[in-house]
Amino acid sequence: MSSPALQSRTRVTRIAQEAVDRARLTVVPRVRTRAPRVPFVTLVSLVLVGGIVGLLLFNTSMQQASFTASSLETQADTLAAREQTLRLELDELRDPQRVALQAQQMGMVIPSAPVFLDLASGTTSGVRTPATRENAIQLQPPAPIKPANLAPAPVVVEVPAAPEATAATTPAAPAAPTTKPRKNRNR
Amino acid sequence: MLRLRIGFVLIAMVLSFFGARLVQLQGVDPQSYAAMAAAEGAARVTLVAERGDILDRNGVPLADSIKGKMVIADPALTADRAPELARLLSERLSVDYFKALTALQGRTEGSRYEFVARRVPSTLATDTLAAVQEAGFEGVFLQDDPIRAYPAGDVAANLLGYMGTDEPLGGFERTFDEQLAGVDGEATWQSNSGKGVRIPLRESTLEAARNGEPLRTTIDRDLQWFTQKVLAQTVQQYRAESGAAVVMDTRTGEVLALADVPTFDANAPTEAQSTDDLGSRAMSNTYEPGSVAKVLTAAALIDADKAFPRQRFRVPPNLARQDRVIGDWFDHGNIRLTLAGIIAKSSNIGTVLAADAFTPVQLVDYLNRFGLGRRTDIGVRGETPGILTPGEAMTSQTKDRVAFGQSLSVNVVQMAAAVNTIANDGVRVSPSVISGTAVTDDGVTVGTDVATRERVVSKQAARGTAKMMEKVVDPEDGVAPRAQVPGYLVAGKTGTAQRVDGDCGCYDGSTSVSFGGFAPADDARFTVYVVVHAPKVDGGGGSVAGPVFSRIMGYVLGRYGVEPTGGTPSRLPVEW
C-alpha cells in the first residue's frame, strides 16, 4: 500500500517541487456514505418475528394434528372393534346349529342320500329317497331327567263313584284337580 | 460508585447460586432427574397381540379372537357411590350386581384396582364407560383384554380346547399356543397428562405387536356339526356311555370330522358335565376294536397269498382252543362259509381258522403297518398309542383273539386310518387334522404337508377285501343292511367288542359297537368310522353304529358332490 504512494510522492516531488514546498498537502477525508439503517433493522426484525410466529404456528398445527391423530386413532379402534363384533355376530348367525334349527322349523329335512341332477341332459343319478320327518335329526338334546324330589310322582286319588243324587247336590269341581293326573310330568 | 459495587455483588451472589444449582443438577446425579422428567407425562402401553384364529378347511373360523376390554374400578373413587354405579354396570354389562358391588367397594382395605368385568366386547365396554362418565361417576377404567370366541359353540370343541383366564388349557389352543399366541408389543410416548394425546417431536418408541398366526385345520365345520348331532342322537337313544366318529378323505388322509360325544361348549368349559368331556376321548381312550379288525386280518391274508375271497371254510359251532372255547355271535351248526361269508356274517371262528395260516409275528407285522400300536401323531393332545403285543411275545391264543379284534386296543383315528388303507387300494396315508404344517408343544411337526404314504397290502388284496366288505351291508347275506347308503356301493364292517373294565382288568359285559367303511366301494372317496361305547339298549355294530355310518356317509357324499359310480355290486358267494 505504501510503495505506490511513495512513488507518487516522489513523482509529485519531481514534477512540482515548488508547489510541494509551498503548500503542505493534507489527506482528503474519505466521504462516508451512510446506508440507511431502518430497512435492515426492519428486515431482521421481520425475519425474527416471522420465524418465531412461524415456529409457533407450526407447533400449534403439530399439536392440532396430534389431537386429530389421537381422535382418529380412537375412532379407528372403535370401528375396528365394531367390525370385529359384527363379524362375530355374523359367524354366530352362520352357526350350523342355528341355521339347522331354523330350517327344521320351516319343515326342511337333511336327506339320507343325495340325488344329482345333470342340467345338460336333464337326468338324475342316485336313488330318490323321500326325506320324511323321521329323517330329521334331533337338534336339541332332550331335557335332563329331573331327580325324583323335583318331579314327584303324581298323586292319584281314587274317588268312589258317587251316586247320581249326591253328585247333583255337591259340586264336583273342587275334587277335580286332585283326581287329574299331572300331564306335564318331566320324563 | 458504591451503588454499582453493591449491584455487582448481588449479581455475583445470584449467579453463584445458579452455578451451584447447575453443578448439583448436572454433576451430582443427572440420570435421576432425566428419568423424573421422562416419567412426567410418559405413557407406556402394552400392545396386546391378537391371538390367531383356528380355521376350518374352508377358512371359516372355529375359534375367533376379537378385541375386548376389562372393566376396572378404583375403589378409592367408586366406593362412595358404589350401589348406584354397581346397578348401572350390572345392567349394562350383565354382570352380577353383588359381584360388581364388592368390586366397587374394594375387596380388601385400601385396594385401588378391582376387576368388575372381564372380556367385555370392546363396543359394549366403551359405550358403558361413556354412560358411566355421563352419569358423573369416576374411577372406572378400561384395559385391553382380548376375547376368544367359538362361534359354533360345541362344534369341534374337543379338538379346539378352550382358554382359561389368561392361558390356553387344552386342545389345539394349548398344543399350538406358540403359533397362535403371537408376541405382545409395547409403545411409549410423552403425553399431556391423562389425556393420552401425544406431544409431537418428543421421544416415543413403538415395538409393534406380532399377531398370532392362524391355524388351519382339515375339519369341515358343517360336516363336523352334522357328525356330532347324528352321533349324539344315537348315543342318547341307546343310552350309551360315549361315542366317537371320524370322517376321513380316503385319498389324502385328511380328517374332515372327528366327533366326540359327550362334548362341551368351548365358550363355557366350566359348564361341562365332567372334566373327561373336555379332551378328545376318540384319541385318548383305548378300546378293543372287535370285528372291524377282521378286515385287516383278511386283507393281510390275501396280500400274503394265504387266502382268497372265495376260499371255502367249514365253520363248526364252536372252536376249542387251548385256554378257552371261541364262539360266534350267532348260533349255528356246522356251516360252510367262504372267506367273504366269514366277513359278511362276521364269524369269529372262521376268522381264526383263516388266520391259522399266519404266525403271530406275521399278523402283528401287518397290523403294525396298518398303523395299530403306534400313535398317529396328528396333533391331538393325550393320544394313546393303543396296545398291540409284539409278535415275538404273543401266544397263539392271543393271536387268535387279535385276528378278530380282541386282546388288542386302539384309538378311533388309528382304526379309521387302518380301514382307510383298504379303501385307498392298500396304501396307508397317515391321517392329519392340521392343514399345511404346524409344530406341537412337544416339537413334533404335524399336518398334511408331512403326511406319509406307505403300501401295506397290494391293490388286489385291498380290492378283494373291499368286495368282501360290500357283502356286510348286503340285505340278504350281511349283518348290517342299515349301513347302506341308497344309490351307492358301500363297503364296511361291523364290530361288537367286549369292553375291558380298567379296575378289574376283565371284560365287564358291556360292549363297544362300531362300524367302519367307505364309499363308493369301487372308487372310495370317504372313510367313515363310528364307535359307540357301552350302549344300554341291546344292539350290535350293524344296528347301532350302522345307521350313524349311513347318515354321515350320505351327507358327506352329497356335500362333496360325489355321484354314484354305477359299478356292479359284489357277486362273491358267501356260502358254498
Q: Which of B69, B223, B224, B229 to mutate to test the interface with A (most CBs of A within 10 A)?
A: B229
| B434 pLDDT more than 90 | yes
For a pLDDT cut of 70, what percent of chain A falls above it?
75
CA-nearest residue to B60 within chain A is A91
Which chain A residues have a beta carbon less than 8 Å from that of B487? Answer: 113-115, 125-127, 129
Report the pLDDT value the prediction gives residue B196, as an integer from 0 to 100.
Answer: 59
CA-nearest residue to B228 within chain A is A139
Among B67, B226, B564, beta carbon nearest to A126? B564
Question: Which of A150-164, B154-168, B213-227, B523-537 is predicted least confidently?
Answer: A150-164
Report the pLDDT value the prediction gives residue B9, as an integer from 0 to 100.
Answer: 95
Q: Do the Cβ atoms of B240 and B510 come closer than 8 Å? A: no
| A171 pLDDT more than 70 | no
* CATH fold label, B68-145: Alpha-Beta Plaits (3.30.70)
Question: Which of A59-68, A159-168, B510-519 is predicted least confidently?
Answer: A159-168
Tell me A157's DSSP state: -
Q: Is the pTM of this model over 0.95?
A: no
Rg (CA), chain A: 57
Q: Do the Cβ atoms of A116 and A126 come closer than 8 Å? A: yes
Determine, for residues B236 and A91 on separate chains, whether the beta-carbon distance falls below 8 Å: no
Q: pLDDT digits over B293-346, tens only?
A: 999 999 999 999 999 999 999 999 988 887 778 888 888 888 999 999 999 999
The whole-angstrom separation of Cα B123 and Cα B137 is: 19
- What is the number of other CB atoms lying within 10 angstroms of the CB of residue B186? 13
The whole-angstrom separation of Cα B485 and Cα B464 is: 21
Report the pLDDT value the prediction gives residue B26, as an integer from 0 to 100.
Answer: 82
Give the confidence band of B476 by pLDDT, cuts at 50, 70, 90: confident
Kindly state the average pLDDT of the residues B547-553.
94
Identify the CATH class of B221-559: alpha beta
Question: Which of B26-35, B265-274, B429-438 is predicted least confidently?
Answer: B26-35
- The residues facing B117 across adjacent strands are B71
ipTM of the complex: 0.79
- The residues facing B439 across adjacent strands are B445
Strand B42-47 and strand B185-190: pairing?
antiparallel
Report the pLDDT value the prediction gives residue A10, as an integer from 0 to 100.
Answer: 55
The whole-angstrom separation of Cα B160 and Cα B272 is: 15
Which chain A residues have a beta carbon less than 8 Å from that of B569? Answer: none
The whole-angstrom separation of Cα B273 and Cα B263 is: 9
Residue B532: phi and psi, rounded to 5, are -120, 120
Please list, in sequence order, all residues whose beta carbon lies within 8 angstroms of the beta carbon of residue B203, skipping any fewer than 6 positions away: B38, B188, B189, B190
- The residues facing B319 across adjacent strands are B326
Which chain B residues have a beta carbon less than 8 Å from that of A62? Answer: 200-201
Which chain A residues have a beta carbon less than 8 Å from that of B200? Answer: 62-63, 65-66
Write out the E strands in B212-352.
215-216, 242-249, 255-261, 312-315, 318-320, 325-327, 335-338
| Residues of chain B contacting A, Cβ within 8 Å | 60-61, 64, 66-67, 121-123, 126, 149, 151-153, 155, 196-201, 221-222, 225-226, 229-230, 232-233, 236, 485-488, 550-551, 554-555, 557-558, 561, 563-564, 566
The whole-angstrom separation of Cα B260 and Cα B274 is: 13
The whole-angstrom separation of Cα B260 and Cα B231 is: 8
Report the pLDDT value the prediction gives residue A177, as an integer from 0 to 100.
Answer: 45
CATH number of B42-65+146-217: 3.90.1310.10
CA-nearest residue to A67 within chain B is B197
For a pLDDT cut of 90, what percent of chain B falls above it?
50
Give the confidence band of A20 by pLDDT, cuts at 50, 70, 90: low
Among A82, A100, A114, beta carbon nearest to B554? A114
Give the confidence band of A74 by pLDDT, cuts at 50, 70, 90: confident
Higher-scoring residue by pLDDT: B26, B245: B245
Give the confidence band of B551 by pLDDT, cuts at 50, 70, 90: very high
Instruction: Give me the residue label for grid cell 451451584.
Output: B20
Kindly state the average pLDDT of the residues A139-146.
77
Q: pLDDT digits over B177-228, tens only?
A: 999 998 988 888 777 655 556 777 777 788 888 999 999 999 999 999 999 9
Averaged confidence pLDDT in chain B: 89
| A83 pLDDT more than 70 | yes
Which of helix, strand or coil describes residue B286?
A: coil
Q: pLDDT digits over B235-251, tens only?
A: 999 999 999 999 999 99
Q: What per-residue string of b and e applies to A18-57 under the rule 16 or more CB within 10 Å gives b?
A: eeeeeeeeeeeeeeeeeeeeeeeeeeeeeeeeeeeeeeee
Higher-scoring residue by pLDDT: A7, B540: B540
The whole-angstrom separation of Cα A54 and Cα A49 is: 8
Q: pLDDT digits over B62-91, tens only?
A: 998 888 888 998 888 888 888 998 999 998
Find which of A169-173, B25-29, B135-139, B407-411 is predicted with most confidence, using mean pLDDT: B407-411
Kindly state the average pLDDT of the residues B29-38.
77
| A184 pLDDT more than 50 | no
Which chain B residues have a beta carbon less than 8 Å from that of A127? Answer: 486-487, 564
A64 reaches B (C-beta below 8 A): no
Domain ranges of chain B: 42-65+146-217, 68-145, 221-559
Whole-number Cα distances in Å, B379 to B264, B314, B440, B443 = 20, 46, 7, 10
Please list, in sequence order, all residues whose beta carbon lies within 8 angstroms of the beta carbon of residue A176, skipping any fewer than 6 positions away: none
Averaged confidence pLDDT in chain A: 77
A126 reaches B (C-beta below 8 A): yes
What cell was used for A26? Answer: 493534507
- The burial of B462, by beta-carbon neighbours within 10 Å (0-12 exposed, 13-18 middle, 19 or more buried), is given as buried
| B506 pLDDT more than 50 | yes
Report the pLDDT value the prediction gives residue B500, as an integer from 0 to 100.
Answer: 86
- From the CA of B485, how many Å to the nearest CA of chain A? 6
